[in-house]
């Protein structure tokens, strides 16, 4: 329980550094992937008639459900880029929901935002004190923070909310909504086009409709935070130093970087971002703080971050995947069932690509086999049990990790306690 | 000269837990005072509850379950494997073992053994997925076991519907697996006189597991390899340890013990897996393994302490003190225990440097270790 957490991290560093997969896709690449995914979904929607697959409602829900996961993931990214594994994100989300609920019902949603983020940051500070100052095992500290966060919020909730009108020992009184933006003119137009069911055009319109109708301010801030993270961590001297602390802290220290200070900043920031995710849960996806509201999203955010190879773009894609399957679950069985066809088609395309471009018969054949299996599953059944949708994102994450972990490259010193003067 | 049992070594070994408990009581008192409650009264109520025979039975029963969960976690911890999936492993094991136990008719001891075997097998298999993913594909077990927890939740919800493994219980909304016939029950032990309930018979098996854990890790080649791998993987490889095999075997063992976590409850009281089967015990196990420093005796103390807090807490609500204060205590305790051990470790390093310095005839620390502080 002392040193490494990811034993294979060290030997693969040299190899994977040279790999192209470590480079980001770039804006054009991201655009191409988005268009590709939308084409795929659109095609399946037209064939199967499962309109909810890309309806404006589904997409709006998907965006909303992605945000807390993405914010937890972004928090994890800050922390792990500085070399501190943060499994306490779940607890920091809980702190965020509680802060939002407590301040929100008394002084309005913006105060809720501020206090929720501050509470999350406090959780981060605690993690920093334990892992940076005291060099405690990071997973251990994270687990402890999750337990603590649950205890503190449950206790405070029963002290502060019980007896207040609309509140109770497990929930805060309701707060007013922050409001949202609907762009007049554009929103109804896009909704109209989206409702027509044209191939691809309607799907693009649905995306635009989701973005122009009842868009929460917090969603906009969240998108800004993802972009800003990329800019700060990869395009500034500050970010370079912060990442250097996560790759080779002792080397960074010899160059005059204040290792502990950077780790502190990163971990507190991590908590603040997770707190923001919690605020979003309490204020946008609900209007109260409720016990158990986070439902493991901190862990899912962590998975999204790993899925995204410790990069903001990939992390956002992972969060989007989780949000999308979550949203489909809410929209009914038909759309979920169509997901099988999506999987079949995606696997088919991938198989063809491997067979013809990579000329790898074994891998391509396996992919093809799975494509056929999914197609058969789709055709042979009328609907999926609701639990199947529930597990979809988790199974997907496992499969993606199983296929791609060899290409993932975590920060080299991730999870290793840093002690000045010791190796 | 026996250094291990010198007065200073004993004092140092006790320093960390004592420090952590004192610190926890201080923080808890501050929280209580800040919210207008009386800390002294809180502690009195907690201790007073624990003197009741009924509560003592509860404590022992809960501790049995916690102990098994913590041992399951600790097996992985000793090898630097974070089996966060104990939670999913024991729940899946419990439902399948309950269903299997309800479906067969066997003579009494065999029936119980059969249920336990199924539970251990299922737990091991579910943990095995994470092990295989780790050794063949390099997937971190932290993430894979978290995912497997969620998948287990979905799987259990799927299985626990009428028509599959479940049937409705008359007169309630609850559903459960087919009840296990009496031949598959484990009799309780009237350990505490005057108490109405009995202590789970499974407490004996938990004790056996603890001894087996101590023996396996401390007294066998396998245990040595396991601990060596946990301390330094390169060193273990150099001395001929097959790390991949160790990972698989350790995970399977951890999962098999995790499979036992639901058994005290299943064999001792509920005799079926229903919607209200206790959940989240895997995370409690992590906390207790941390409290007990992966030591079988330490874990036993940790489990008893945790169970004491949980079982006595319900009384607090009647006294106007929210029982959730106990959860704060538990969280602070875990965090302060790990920090206290780190502080003691640093103190020890400095002391050793100091001693070496003195023996060399100089009062200054000789190595660079002095800089640690």
The CA distance from B193 to the nearest CA of chain A, in Å, is 34
Phi, psi (5° rounding) for residue A61? Answer: -65, -40
User: What residues in A contact B327, CB-CB < 8 Å?
Assistant: 147, 150-152, 154-155
pLDDT band at A13 (very low <50, low <70, confident <90, very high): very low
d(C-alpha B92, C-alpha B41), whole Å: 41
Q: Do A394 and B31 touch (CB under 8 A)?
A: no
Q: Do B82 and A5 touch (CB under 8 A)?
A: yes
Choosing among A10, A122, A336, A391, which should be mutated to test the B contact, i.e. which has the most B CBs within 10 A? A391
Q: Do A302 and B143 touch (CB under 8 A)?
A: yes
Q: Strand pairing partners for A180?
A: A216
Handedness of CA A98, A99, A100, A105 (dihedral sign): positive
pLDDT band at A91 (very low <50, low <70, confident <90, very high): very high
Under 8 Å CB pairs connecting chains A and B tally to 159
Which DSSP string do the residues of B296-355 spell out, in sequence order? HHHHHHHHHHHHHHHHHHHHHHHTTS-TTHHHHHHHHHHHHHHHHHHHHHHHHHHHHHHH
pLDDT digits (tens, 9 = 90+) for B115-128: 999 999 999 999 99
d(C-alpha A173, C-alpha A314), whole Å: 37
Task: Give yes or no for a contact between B85 and B130, defined as CB atoms under 8 angstroms apart.
Answer: yes
pLDDT digits (tens, 9 = 90+) for A147-188: 899 989 999 998 899 888 888 888 999 998 888 888 888 888
Q: Strand pairing partners for B199?
A: B189
What is Dmax (Cα atoms) for chain B?
82
* pLDDT value at B301 more than 60: yes
Q: Which two tokens stand for residue A363?
A: 């891998």
Q: Which two tokens stand for residue A15?
A: 């190899």
Q: Which two tokens stand for residue B118?
A: 């199924």
Higher pLDDT, A50 or A8: A50
pLDDT band at A14 (very low <50, low <70, confident <90, very high): very low
Higher pLDDT, A61 or B173: A61
pLDDT band at A380 (very low <50, low <70, confident <90, very high): confident
Q: What is the pLDDT of residue B77?
A: 92
Q: Do B326 and A159 touch (CB under 8 A)?
A: no
Task: Give yes or no for a contact between A44 and A183, defined as CB atoms under 8 angstroms apart.
Answer: no
Percent of chain A with pLDDT over 70: 92
Q: Do A144 and B287 touch (CB under 8 A)?
A: yes
**Pair type for strands A215-216 and B175-177:** unpaired
pLDDT band at B304 (very low <50, low <70, confident <90, very high): very high
Helix (H, G, I), strand (E, B) or coil at A181: strand
Q: Which of B49, B60, B51, B48 is nearest to B191 (CA)?
A: B60
Q: What is the pLDDT of residue A193?
A: 84
Tokens 């995790």 sit on residue: B258
Which DSSP string do the residues of B22-41 spell out, in sequence order? HHHHHHHHHHHHHTT--HHH
**Which secondary-structure segment (H or E) carries A215?**
strand A215-216
* pLDDT value at A23 more than 70: no
pLDDT band at B264 (very low <50, low <70, confident <90, very high): very high
Q: Do B139 and A405 touch (CB under 8 A)?
A: yes
Q: How far is CA A44 from CA A4, A40, A372, B23, B58, in A?
A: 45, 6, 16, 60, 56
Q: Do B80 and A155 touch (CB under 8 A)?
A: no
User: Taking the CB of residue A34, how many other CB atoms lie within 10 A of it?
Assistant: 13
The CA distance from B334 to the nearest CA of chain A, in Å, is 6
User: What residues in A contact B28, CB-CB < 8 Å?
Assistant: none
Entry pTM = 0.87
pLDDT digits (tens, 9 = 90+) for A283-319: 999 999 999 899 889 988 998 898 888 999 889 988 9
Q: Strand pairing partners for A216?
A: A180
d(C-alpha B322, C-alpha A152), whole Å: 11
Q: Which two tokens stand for residue B3?
A: 């250094």
Q: Do B327 and A1 touch (CB under 8 A)?
A: no
pLDDT band at B90 (very low <50, low <70, confident <90, very high): very high
Tokens 């554009």 sit on residue: A186
Q: Do A394 and B371 touch (CB under 8 A)?
A: no
Q: Do A155 and B286 touch (CB under 8 A)?
A: no
Choosing among B70, B151, B294, which should be mutated to test the A contact, i.e. which has the most A CBs within 10 A? B151
d(C-alpha B39, C-alpha B29), whole Å: 5
Q: Do A152 and B331 touch (CB under 8 A)?
A: yes
User: What residues in B contact A398, CB-CB < 8 Å?
Assistant: 133, 139, 144, 147-148, 151
If you average pLDDT over each of A192-206, A207-221, A399-413, which comes out highest?
Answer: A207-221
Q: Which of A30, A21, A110 is nearest to A317 (CA)?
A: A30
d(C-alpha B110, C-alpha A275), whole Å: 52
Q: What is the pLDDT of residue A11?
A: 40
User: What residues in A contact B144, CB-CB < 8 Å?
Assistant: 398, 401
- Dihedral, CA of residue A153, residue A159, residue A160 and residue A166, to nearest 10: 100
Choosing among A148, A163, A307, A396, which should be mutated to test the B contact, i.e. which has the most B CBs within 10 A? A148
pLDDT digits (tens, 9 = 90+) for B320-365: 888 889 989 998 998 888 889 888 888 888 888 888 888 887 655 5
Chain B segment 130-189 residues within 8 A of A by beta carbon are 133, 137-140, 142-144, 146-148, 150-151, 153-155, 157-158
Tokens 């978290």 sit on residue: B146
Q: What is the pLDDT of residue A229?
A: 96
d(C-alpha A161, C-alpha A118), whole Å: 20
pLDDT digits (tens, 9 = 90+) for B197-241: 889 999 999 999 999 999 999 999 999 999 999 888 888 899 889
Taking CA atoms, what residue in B is nearest to A417? B342
Handedness of CA A142, A147, A150, A151 (dihedral sign): negative
Q: Do B327 and A155 touch (CB under 8 A)?
A: yes
d(C-alpha B201, C-alpha A282), whole Å: 45
* pLDDT value at B373 more than 50: no
Task: Give yes or no for a contact between A44 and A277, defined as CB atoms under 8 angstroms apart.
Answer: no
For residues A279-286, average pLDDT:
94
pLDDT digits (tens, 9 = 90+) for A323-354: 988 888 777 777 888 888 888 898 899 889 88
pLDDT band at A21 (very low <50, low <70, confident <90, very high): very low
Q: Which two tokens stand for residue A419?
A: 């002690």
Strands (E), B104-254: 166-168, 175-177
Task: Give yes or no for a contact between B273 and B93, defined as CB atoms under 8 angstroms apart.
Answer: no
Q: What is the pLDDT of residue A190?
A: 86
Phi, psi (5° rounding) for residue B176? Answer: -150, 170
Tokens 């001894």 sit on residue: B211
Which burial class, exposed, middle or buried, applies to A254 when counting CB atoms under 10 A from its CB (0-12, 13-18, 19+)? exposed
User: Taking the CB of residue B167, how many other CB atoms lie within 10 A of it?
Assistant: 15
Q: Which two tokens stand for residue B243?
A: 């790390």
Q: Do B294 and A1 touch (CB under 8 A)?
A: yes
Task: Give yes or no for a contact between A205 and A194, defined as CB atoms under 8 angstroms apart.
Answer: yes
* pLDDT value at B291 more than 90: no
Q: Which of A356-360, B255-259, B300-304 has the lowest mean pLDDT?
A: A356-360
pLDDT band at A19 (very low <50, low <70, confident <90, very high): very low
pLDDT digits (tens, 9 = 90+) for B275-289: 889 988 998 999 899
Q: What is the pLDDT of residue A256?
A: 92
For residues A3-13, average pLDDT:
41
Q: How far is CA A398 from CA A196, A304, B153, B251, B260, in A?
A: 37, 11, 15, 17, 26
**Which secondary-structure segment (H or E) carries A44?**
helix A26-48
- Dihedral, CA of residue A345, residue A347, residue A353 and residue A355, to nearest 10: -120
Q: How far is CA B8 from CA A99, B189, B291, B323, B344, in A?
A: 45, 41, 22, 38, 12
d(C-alpha B250, C-alpha A216), whole Å: 48
Chain B segment 266-295 residues within 8 A of A by beta carbon are 283, 286-287, 290, 294
Q: Strand pairing partners for A38?
A: none
- Dihedral, CA of residue B202, residue B204, residue B208 and residue B209, to nearest 10: 30
Q: Do B146 and A401 touch (CB under 8 A)?
A: no
Tokens 């106990």 sit on residue: B326
Q: Which one-letter DSSP state was computed for residue A133? A: I
Q: Which one-letter DSSP state was computed for residue B179? A: P
Q: How far is CA B54 from CA B46, B200, B254, B270, B311, in A?
A: 14, 13, 32, 18, 10
d(C-alpha A399, C-alpha A393), whole Å: 10
d(C-alpha A178, C-alpha B221), whole Å: 63
pLDDT band at A254 (very low <50, low <70, confident <90, very high): very high
Q: Do A145 and B335 touch (CB under 8 A)?
A: yes
Taking CA atoms, what residue in A is nearest to B326? A151
User: What residues in B contact A8, CB-CB < 8 Å?
Assistant: 138
pLDDT band at A2 (very low <50, low <70, confident <90, very high): very low
Average confidence score pLDDT of chain B: 89
Higher pLDDT, B75 or A203: B75
* pLDDT value at B370 more than 50: no
Tokens 């489990």 sit on residue: B303
Task: Give yes or no for a contact between A122 and A153, defined as CB atoms under 8 angstroms apart.
Answer: no
Q: How far is CA B207 from CA B20, B49, B60, B68, B299, in A?
A: 26, 25, 12, 9, 11
* pLDDT value at A32 more than 90: no
Q: What is the pLDDT of residue B3?
A: 55
Taking CA atoms, what residue in B is nearest to A300? B147
Q: Do A390 and B157 touch (CB under 8 A)?
A: yes
User: What residues in B contact A159, CB-CB < 8 Å?
Assistant: 35, 322
Taking CA atoms, what residue in B is nearest to A295? B150
Taking CA atoms, what residue in B is nearest to A410? B140
Percent of chain B with pLDDT over 70: 95
* pLDDT value at B154 more than 80: yes
Phi, psi (5° rounding) for residue A293? Answer: -65, -30
**Which secondary-structure segment (H or E) carries A272?**
helix A259-283
Taking CA atoms, what residue in A is nearest to B243? A7
């Amino acid at each position: 329980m002392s040193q490494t957490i990811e034993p294979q991290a060290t030997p693969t560093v040299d190899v994977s550094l040279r790999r192209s997969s470590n480079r980001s896709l770039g804006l054009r690449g991201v655009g191409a992937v988005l268009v590709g995914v939308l084409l795929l979904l659109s095609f399946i929607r037209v064939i199967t008639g499962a309109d909810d697959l890309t309806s404006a409602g589904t997409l709006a829900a998907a965006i909303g459900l992605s945000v807390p996961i993405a914010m937890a993931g972004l928090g994890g990214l800050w922390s792990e880029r500085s070399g501190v594994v943060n499994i306490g994100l779940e607890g920091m989300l809980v702190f965020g929901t509680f802060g939002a609920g407590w301040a929100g019902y008394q002084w309005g949603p913006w105060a809720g935002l501020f206090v929720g983020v501050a509470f999350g940051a406090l959780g981060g500070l605690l993690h920093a004190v334990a892992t940076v100052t005291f060099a405690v095992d990071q997973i251990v500290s994270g687990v402890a923070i999750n337990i603590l966060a649950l205890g503190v919020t449950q206790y405070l909730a029963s002290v502060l909310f019980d007896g207040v009108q609309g509140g109770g020992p497990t929930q805060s009184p309701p707060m007013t909504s922050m409001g949202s933006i609907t762009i007049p003119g554009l929103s109804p137009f896009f909704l109209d086009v989206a409702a027509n069911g044209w191939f691809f055009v309607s799907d693009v319109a649905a995306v635009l409709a989701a973005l122009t109708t009842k868009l929460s301010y917090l969603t906009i801030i969240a998108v800004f935070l993802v972009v800003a993270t990329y800019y700060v961590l990869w395009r500034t001297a500050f970010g370079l130093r912060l990442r250097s602390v996560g790759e080779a802290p002792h080397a960074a220290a010899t160059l005059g970087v204040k290792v502990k200070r950077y780790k502190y900043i990163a971990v507190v920031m991590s908590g603040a971002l997770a707190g923001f995710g919690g605020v979003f849960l309490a204020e946008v996806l609900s209007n109260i703080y409720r016990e158990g509201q986070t439902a493991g999203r901190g862990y899912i955010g962590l998975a999204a971050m790993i899925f995204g190879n410790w990069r903001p773009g990939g992390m956002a894609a992972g969060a989007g995947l989780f949000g999308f399957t979550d949203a489909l679950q809410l929209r009914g069985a038909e759309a979920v069932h169509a997901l099988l066809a999506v999987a079949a088609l995606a696997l088919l395309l991938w198989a063809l690509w491997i067979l013809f471009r990579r000329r790898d018969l074994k891998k391509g054949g396996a992919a093809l086999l799975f494509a056929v299996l999914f197609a058969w599953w789709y055709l042979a059944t009328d609907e999926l049990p609701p639990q199947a949708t529930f597990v979809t994102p988790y199974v997907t994450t496992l499969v993606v990790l199983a296929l791609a972990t060899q290409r993932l490259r975590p920060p080299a010193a991730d999870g290793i306690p840093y002690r000045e003067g010791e190796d | 000269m026996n250094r291990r049992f010198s007065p200073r070594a004993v004092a140092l070994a006790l320093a960390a837990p004592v420090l952590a408990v004192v610190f926890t009581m201080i923080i808890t008192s501050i929280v209580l005072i800040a919210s207008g409650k009386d800390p002294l009264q809180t502690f009195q109520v907690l201790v007073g509850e624990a003197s009741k025979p009924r509560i003592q039975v509860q404590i022992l029963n809960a501790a049995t379950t916690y102990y098994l969960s913590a041992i399951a976690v600790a097996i992985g911890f000793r090898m630097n494997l974070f089996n966060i999936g104990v939670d999913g492993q024991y729940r899946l094991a419990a439902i399948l073992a309950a269903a299997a136990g309800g479906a067969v008719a066997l003579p009494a001891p065999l029936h119980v053994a059969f249920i336990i075997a199924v539970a251990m097998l299922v737990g091991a298999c579910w943990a095995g997925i994470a092990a295989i993913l780790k050794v063949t594909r390099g997937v971190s077990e932290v993430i894979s076991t978290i995912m497997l927890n969620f998948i287990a939740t979905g799987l259990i919800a799927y299985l626990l519907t009428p028509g599959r493994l479940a049937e409705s219980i008359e007169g309630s909304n609850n559903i459960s697996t087919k009840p296990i016939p009496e031949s598959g029950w484990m009799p309780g032990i009237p350990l505490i006189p005057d108490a109405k309930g009995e202590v789970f018979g499974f407490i004996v098996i938990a004790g056996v597991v603890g001894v087996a854990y101590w023996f396996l890790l401390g007294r066998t080649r396998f245990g040595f390899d396991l601990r060596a791998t946990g301390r330094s993987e390169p060193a273990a490889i150099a001395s001929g340890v097959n790390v991949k095999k160790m990972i698989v075997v350790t995970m399977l063992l951890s999962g098999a013990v995790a499979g036992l976590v639901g058994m005290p409850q299943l064999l001792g009281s509920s005799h079926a897996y229903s919607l209200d089967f206790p959940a989240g015990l895997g995370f409690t196990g992590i906390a207790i393994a941390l409290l007990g420093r992966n030591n079988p005796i330490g874990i036993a103390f940790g489990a008893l302490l945790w169970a004491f807090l949980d079982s006595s807490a319900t009384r607090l609500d009647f006294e106007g003190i929210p029982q959730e204060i106990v959860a704060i205590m538990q969280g602070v305790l875990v965090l302060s225990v790990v920090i206290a051990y780190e502080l003691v470790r640093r103190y020890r390093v400095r002391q050793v440097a100091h001693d070496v310095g003195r023996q060399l005839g100089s009062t200054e620390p000789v190595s660079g270790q002095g800089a640690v502080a």
